[in-house]
Structure 1
Amino acid sequence: MYDTVRDRLIHLHHCRGAGWKTIQALLAADATLSAPFSLSPSALRSLVPLSDAQWNAFFHDLHAIDMQRLLQAYRSRGIRLITLWDADYPPLLKHIHAPPWVLYAKGNLALLQQVKLISIVGTRHPTKEGIAALEKLVPPLVSAGFTIVSGLAFGIDVCAHQLAVRHGGTTIAVIAGGLDHVYPKAHRSFARQLMEEHLVIAEHPPATRPQPWQFPARNRIISGLSLGTIVVQARVKSGSLITAAYALEQGREVFAVPGPIGLAESAGPNTLIQHGAKLVQQADDVIAEFPYL
């Protein structure tokens, strides 16, 4: 049916229920990924850790998806697929725990090969001081050649993207769900701009609607692409601190902008600083950590 393991991976990646662990299990059983397309249903069922409902959807998609038609549609729309085995897969991302099997990308793919990638994350409800911190940090980082990585969410994320664009820099947005369902809807127009001049990527096929669990999962990609992560305003229990935790797990730098002790949005960065994150007051505090660049 397919000539290469890459083609088989892409098909499997479009099957409902075929999450990261399912594909890992199939690769462990057969490194060529030929088995799913040739085994009997009962034999294949024993290989995949899925519920009955998930199995039914997976098996249907395995034999019903017209992959060639889908790939042609992607090409016509400028959507590129990059698998873990491709030469243009982001080098730092390849070394994280559970790297995405496939990335779906639209825009300037060369940005994925940049060394100077730095992620900036934070609250969806920044104060004027949080915005002022971004305005102080992003322009000099851009001038120093850093590409800004973030998640296109309300607040700090989208402001970081916008400042990078406004100051002539480059930026990568990592979204939950697929490229056809950018969330939040309010940022779809801006996302289309990024798809033309910068880059938007997702680890799910374009038609995938975002689910709550996908947001914390995509945070590992934001940190995994980057040399380090800067947290600008975040509550103690927030997605931004999940991103910082991933960065630590991945052996990347963690930076935090301090704030007033009475402000809830300061609690996250201040806690990170207590635990060893580098306190950031200006862009040079970040740049100094990468003297080899």
Structure 2
Amino acid sequence: MEKFKIITIVDESYPPMLNTIKDAPIVLYAIGDLTLLSYSPALSVIGTRKPTMEASQKMEIFVKPLVKEKWVIVSGMAMGIDSLAHKITLGHNGKTIAVLGGGFHHIYPKQNISLFHQIAKHGLVLSEYPPDLSPARYHFPERNRIISGLGFGTLVIEATERSGTLITVEQALDQGREVFAVPGSPLQPQTKGCHQMIQDGAKLVHEAVDILEEWDVISKLTT
């Protein structure tokens, strides 16, 4: 078990982006590279736990170019899109942050224990829950505000109409973050949530350049 550090909201190392949200966690437990907490730009990449066969190709189109541009990719280490986001980032020697829904002694899902160790070694793993606390159903919606809060925006790769991904999107909008959604075939249930988000005002993205250009505009406004 890797050694963890405890960061409180009054510490200098507390992530500045997270400090701006109204329900910021008071304490964070962290394993890995703490410099990533203040790194910019960072983007949250989320989606369904049961992605389509095309999901990996979508990652190549949208996430890989951002990793090549030294962006930090934030996700929740769940099955499906989250795991793909972490893996493609690590596979291209990029930096990724995983936000867990339980303590470090209870990695969930168990299939991702190896991925957890990889992220701890090459990126950063965070949790607001003490190491001995097991994951609970209500933890995952809670931790979503951290996933969205750490980035300037959230990219939804795939989501069904009633996806838990929508909770993160709501958190992102509430935090004043950008929301990007990838369109897809209307025949695929995993794209219906994205289409709904686009109808509701999320930015439709065709390629990574759309996100890079949006960041360019926002970063100029904030500097």
Where in structure 2 are the equivalents of 1:175-186 lying within 5 Å?
Answer: 175-186=100-111
Aligned counterpart, 1:112: 37
2:197 is the alignment partner of 1:264: no
Alignment partner of 1:254 is 2:203: no
| Cα shift at 1:148 | 0.4
Distance 2:112 2:68 in 1: 25
Distance 2:188 2:122 in 1: 37
Partner of residue 207, structure 2: 282
Tell me the residue number matched to 1:96: 21
Identical-pair percentage: 46
How far has the Cα of 1:78 moved from its partner? Answer: 2.1
1:16-165 correspondence runs (5 A): 77-165=2-90
- CA deviation after TM superposition for structure 1 residue 77, in Å: 4.5
Q: Give the Cα separation in 2 of the matches to 1:178 and 1:221.
A: 15
- C-alpha distance in 1 between matches for 2:157 and 2:10: 34
Higher relative contact order (CA 8 A, sep 6+): 2
Checking the alignment, whether the CA contact within 8 Å between 1:121 and 1:232 is kept in structure 2 is yes
Counterpart residue identity of residue 118, structure 1: L
Aligned residues: 218
Alignment partner of 1:227 out of 146, 152, 174? 152
**SS at 1:288's partner residue?**
helix
Deviation string for 1:156-208 (max 9, x for gaps)?
10001000011111000000011111110000111011111111100010000
Counterpart of 2:211, as a letter, is V
SS of residue in 2 equivalent to 1:124: coil
The more displaced of 187-196 and 147-156 is 187-196
Q: Give the structure with higher Rg (CA).
A: 1
* Pairing 1:245–2:170 present: yes
1:120-175 CA distance string (max 9 Å, x none): 00011111222211121111001112100000011110001000011111000000
The alignment status of 1:203 with 2:128, answered yes or no, reads yes
Could you tell me how far apart the structure 1 residues matched to 2:68 and 2:78 are?
A: 24
Question: More helix by proportion, 1 or 2?
Answer: 1
Give the conservation status (yes or no) of the 8 Å contact 1:219–1:239: no
Answer yes or no: is the 8 Å Cα contact 1:273–1:279 preserved in 2: yes
CA–CA separation in structure 1 for the residues paired with 2:56 and 2:67:
16
- TM-score, normalisation: structure 1: 0.73
Name stretches of at least 5 consecutive residues in structure 2 with no aligned partner.
Answer: none
Q: State the TM-score, normalized to the length of structure 2.
A: 0.95
Q: Which residue of structure 1 aligns with residue 138 of structure 2?
A: 213
Distance 1:224 1:140 in 2: 22
- Secondary structure of 2:215 counterpart: coil
Q: Give the whole-Å Cα distance in 1 for the aligned partners of 2:79 and 2:60.
A: 16
Runs of 4+ in 1 over 4 A off after TM superposition: none
